[in-house]
Amino acid sequence: MLLVLFNLAVFLLLMLLLGKLARSGQSLSRQVLTGLVFGVAAGFIMQALYDAATITDTLEWVNMVGSGYVRLLKMIVIPLVLVSILGAVARLHNATSLGKISLLTLGVLLFTTAISALVGVFVTQAFGLSAADLVQGARELARAEHLESQVGNVADLSVPQLVVSFIPSNPFADMTGASATSVIGVVVFATFLGLATLTLLKDEPELGRRVIGGIEALQALIMRLVRLVMKLTPYGVMALMTKVIAGSNLQDVISLGGFLIASYLAIAIMFVIHGVLLTLVGVNAKRFFTKVWPVLAFAFTSRSSAATIPLNVQAQTNKLGVPDTIANFSASFGATIGQNGCAGIYPAMLAVMIAPTMGIDVLDPLWLATLVGVITLASFGVAGVGGGATFAALIVLPIMGMPVALAALLISIEPLIDMARTALNVNGSMTAGTISSKLLGQTDQAVFAKDEEAGSTANASL
């Protein structure tokens, strides 16, 4: 118990140091980086010095900060999406531009998901990974049984049913986060509410202006709430990273090292492809990644695309010069549609590992095209929380006639891979927003060109 109290005292001291950085005027980016470094160091030191019981007892308290911060972010996701989409649509001049934004954003998300599936296929082939090489322990067998029991529920969902599920029959239920597609349901509801405001403004200008004034007041209030929560980001990142590093099992990481390395290589390749796509449309990729890395750091530690939506929107609007409408659509859609890591790379890798054991030629063009098509369509509605990759596998593998038990064999290293997958998911949504904004000629170049140092005051105010 004394060791746990000592660990908590050290953790509290690190939090006080982060608070001192904030009061000294350091940018939010630097605070997040410092919190990340503190968390990694604390995790490794705990791994080296303490037994499993002491680490578990310590992390139970440390996780209060990490989980508490993630819950606060989830708390503001639905209100932020609702008022942001509502306000953005209500200020549009016509519905035609809304259609262009939606189609272009979705197009980029799905296009990059298809590419990520191909990357997953060829990296897995290059490493020679096979399902036959993995060993099943007691925990893996129990997990496999659980996944098999879930297949019936998920496999019964066709792609058209998933698309229809985006339309909310009860928007208030979606506002509670009742389903994996709740965020999209709120986006749809807010969009129609915004279009109704446009027609009201046209037919009854005075009443319409009063409604828009109320929306703007509500939006200003929610943004104040967002800024309050954003100030806690360095503490949340430090706690989450401490938990990830201290809670990892080195032996499990070594035993499944091939899959871990292949996964990270595929994810790194997709980051490069995002940079190439940005460059092709005239966006400075280096500047883009410099500006969004604090968002990626949080996505990496939290393993939640949905919880990263507020940071995602803030980075796009305040650092990348993307308009509110595009930023909110890309962040919201990207949390549940076209996730490059969870819905693209992961199910593709599993399918390629299983295929040889079933006598399937992975490089057969017809099979390959079918796999990529299924993965791209099945990427609709993947939950934007930890575990979304498993959900994607439960959809893709049964459609391809494959067992889902393989996903259970990777349970021990799943958190380590899921961190990078989530960062890629979030980067994909920001890439989609930036590309859409650039192609539509709506990017604020002055904001994008502003250096991070020059923007440190603004960052700190978040």
Q: Structure tokens of 15?
A: 């939090």
Q: Structure tokens of 113?
A: 């998901």
Query: What torsion, rounded to 10 degrees, do the Cα atoms 345, 157, 385, 172 define?
Result: 150
Supply the DSSP symbol for 135.
P
Q: Structure tokens of 293?
A: 């890395």
DSSP one-letter string for 371-399 = HHHHHHHHTTT--SSTTHHHHHHHHHHHH
Architecture of domain 2-461: Orthogonal Bundle (1.10)
State the CB neighbour count (10 A cutoff) for residue 423: 26
Per-residue pLDDT of the chain (462 residues; tens, 9 = 90+): 788 899 899 999 999 999 998 888 877 778 888 888 898 899 889 988 888 889 889 999 998 998 898 888 778 878 887 887 788 788 776 666 777 888 899 899 999 999 999 999 999 999 888 876 554 544 444 444 544 444 444 445 555 666 677 788 888 888 887 666 677 788 889 889 988 988 898 889 899 889 989 988 998 898 888 888 888 888 988 998 888 788 776 665 666 678 889 999 999 999 999 999 999 999 999 999 999 988 998 888 777 887 788 889 889 999 999 998 899 889 888 887 888 988 899 889 989 988 888 888 888 999 999 999 988 887 775 654 445 677 777 778 877 888 766 665 666 677 788 889 999 999 999 999 999 999 999 999 999 998 754 434 334 334
- Alpha carbons within 13 angstroms on the beta-carbon side of residue 192 total 8
Q: Does residue 25 come out as left (phi exceeding 0), alpha (psi in the -120 to 50 range) or beta?
A: left
Amino acid at 277: L
CA gap 430, 342 in Å, rounded: 16
CB-CB contact of 351 with 396 (8 Å): yes
Integer angstrom CA distances of residue 139 from 39, 109, 142, 410, 417: 28, 35, 5, 10, 18
Q: How far is CA 191 from the centre of its chain?
A: 22
Q: How far is CA 400 from the centre of its chain?
A: 26
